[in-house]
Amino acid sequence: MSKRKSPQELGRYLKFKRWLAGDLDLLEDVTEDAVPVAAPEIADRLPARDSALESRCRASEEVYGPEVWPQSHAPGYAQAWRDRVALQKGAGDAQAVLQAQEKSLGFFRAVYKIMAVLLCGAIILVFLWTTAFLPPFGNPDNPANNEVPARYIRHGVEETGATNFVTGMILDYRAFDTFGESCVLFIASCCVQVLLRVDACDGKSAARTRIQQENDRLFEPKNDGILQQTARLLVPLIMIFGVYIILNGHLSPGGGFSGGAVLGSGLILYLNTFGFAKTERFFNERVYRRMTLCALTFYCLAKSYSFFTGANHLESGIPLGTPGAILSSGLILPLNICVGLVVMGTMYSFYTLFRKGGM
Amino acid sequence: MEVFELLLLLSLVVCAVSVAVIRDLLASIIVFMSYSLIMCIIWILLQSPDLAITEAAVGAGVTSVLFFVTLKKIHAIRKEDRDE
């Protein structure tokens, strides 16, 4: 039984053989993995039971499994035959049950639609009603404008050294909160890895076939001229923009997360254009793992001291420099770089996980 | 400026509704992308360029790409091609 193949695999194999023989264009052919689907009419159009054919099918079922044999011997025959047997068994009862089910389902479908519209309208109404009680936008007397933002705005630059208040807040005053947030993100990305990753270590042949099934690189155009020329122009610009956002996170709008997302999108564009082989040369799983580990550990070491001291701000001993210079504001720049690297790696690894279940 | 903002907010609502209503999955993802772009402009008008950059990169870029990959995996895009 070790020779048993899955129906998709066998279908693909047969298709590949037809392609080799030259009577099938793989790019034109869109009916992938054609496992025969039985239309109910086939059962009626079938000839009377053909015992010789059936025994031949049985024999191949022993080798390949029940789903395969109609494909190799009599297209559509087996499923139709099975359907007819099932129909004859149930005969009238099955029809009646089906009709009754359809009727009750129809009622539920109507109720479902009405309830969905009602619920949606109710939620919209509640939200609008709540919004009516919110304080007006930009009003100086709003409850949010208390002593905390006043302190941030008045003393933010001299205390954190960052001319971008938001970054100063996120990565200095509230760096420990941000650490918790990045932990949440890390756990989320771990969950995605657990769900989507194809583990190559357990059961060599099984994993290999799964990787081949997940791999959808077979059917894509390899050298798309328009895409490649555009990407040659765009990818460097996107990457430089991402690096700029990260490095200037404490001076101008942006920071680690947005810059990392831009870098990740640039990498995904590069990957889509030039294929996995070229990206794996400089960015494979080992690089990703080491990079993420180093960045997260550095962030953890640099900011988890607040957990032990209980204070929200402590002197790090690093000179803050002149606000506005690129080497200023102490730990914020290295932290931004760390966050950027982690976010870039996470975006890229999500994409590769979706594509082929691993980097 | 007021009119421009109102126009943006209106198209935001239109996009949000049409994402749910459109039956073509590919088209609804593209509408979702344009929702993110409009949101990005609104963030800039609300004077938070940080969020605008993130929205453009994550909302319009990475999320839609992931959606596209998923659609390709479940063979939803290919079916659209076959109908044409």
Residues A187-203: tens digit of each pLDDT: 888 888 888 877 665 55
Contacts (Cβ under 8 Å, ≥6 apart) of B12: B35, B38, B39, B42
> What number is the average pLDDT over the span A38-57?
54
- Considering A91-105, A321-335, B44-58, the range whose residues carry the highest mean pLDDT is B44-58
User: Following DSSP, what letter does each residue of A67-98 receive, concatenated?
Assistant: TTHHHHTSTTHHHHHHHHHHHHHHHHHHHHHH
Contact A355 B49 (CB under 8 A): no
Alpha helices in chain A, H assignment, sequence order: 7-21, 40-45, 51-64, 69-72, 77-132, 147-160, 165-168, 175-196, 204-214, 225-247, 256-274, 276-282, 285-303, 305-309, 332-356
pLDDT band at residue A116, thresholds of 50, 70 and 90?
Answer: very high
Contact B69 A355 (CB under 8 A): yes
Give the per-residue pLDDT at A19: 63
Q: Is the dihedral of CA A27, B83, A7, A72 positive or negative?
A: negative
User: Following DSSP, what letter does each residue of A49-60 receive, concatenated?
Assistant: P-HHHHHHHHHH
- Is the separation of the CB atoms in A259 and B58 below 8 Å? no
Contact B72 A254 (CB under 8 A): no
Chain B interface test: which of A32, A220, A265 (most B C-beta within 10 Å): A265
Q: Within an 8 Å CB–CB cutoff, is residue A351 touching chain B?
A: yes
The token duo for A235 is 């990818």
State the virtual CA torsion across A264, A266, A268, A273 in degrees, nearest 10: -170
First to last CA, chain B: 42
The residues facing A323 across adjacent strands are: A325
Rounded to 10 deg, the angle between the B63-73 and B25-45 helix axes is 170
Q: Within an 8 Å CB–CB cutoff, is residue B17 touching chain A?
A: no
Q: Within an 8 Å CB–CB cutoff, is residue B78 touching chain A?
A: yes
Other C-beta atoms closer than 10 Å to the C-beta of A241 total: 17
Looking at the predicted structure, is the pLDDT value of residue A206 above 60? yes
Give the per-residue pLDDT at B1: 81
What separation in angstroms does the CA of A324 have from each of A251, A329, A359? 6, 9, 39
Residues B12-66: tens digit of each pLDDT: 999 999 998 898 888 999 999 999 999 999 999 988 888 899 899 888 888 998 9
